């Protein structure tokens, strides 16, 4: 199969869209968004909480109060990853 330039562009755009939604690494799988950020801010979560029931962060990550409030408001659990 030979892909046309239009098909390749569509594939690239779809991959980028999915990564921005949190479908890549860090990823959202089974309702979990797994982050590797050392500091978790609202900007890190922007547009990534749809269909997420749990956010997993590194054990020593700093989570801002605004993030904690947003997760609480949405009913999303915050868990710390074990090392």
Give 17-30 pLDDT, tens digit per residue. 766 655 444 444 56
Tracing tokens 């962060």 back to the chain, one arrives at 57
pTM of the model: 0.64
* Six token digits for residue 82: 């074990």
β-partners of residue 83 are: none
Strand stretches in the chain, DSSP E: 28-29, 32-34, 39-40, 54-57, 62-63, 77-80
Give 41-64 pLDDT, tens digit per residue. 999 998 888 889 999 999 999 999
Question: What's the half-sphere exposure (Cβ side, CA atoms, 13 Å) at 29?
Answer: 6
| Cβ atoms of 81 and 56 closer than 8 Å | yes
């Amino acid at each position: 199969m030979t892909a046309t330039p239009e098909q390749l562009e569509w594939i690239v755009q779809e991959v980028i869209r999915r990564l921005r939604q949190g479908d890549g690494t860090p990823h959202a799988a089974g309702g979990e968004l797994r982050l590797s950020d050392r500091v978790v801010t609202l900007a890190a979560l922007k547009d990534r909480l749809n269909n997420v029931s749990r956010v997993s962060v590194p054990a020593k990550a700093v989570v801002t109060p605004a993030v904690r409030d947003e997760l609480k408001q949405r009913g999303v659990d915050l868990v710390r990853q074990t090392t």
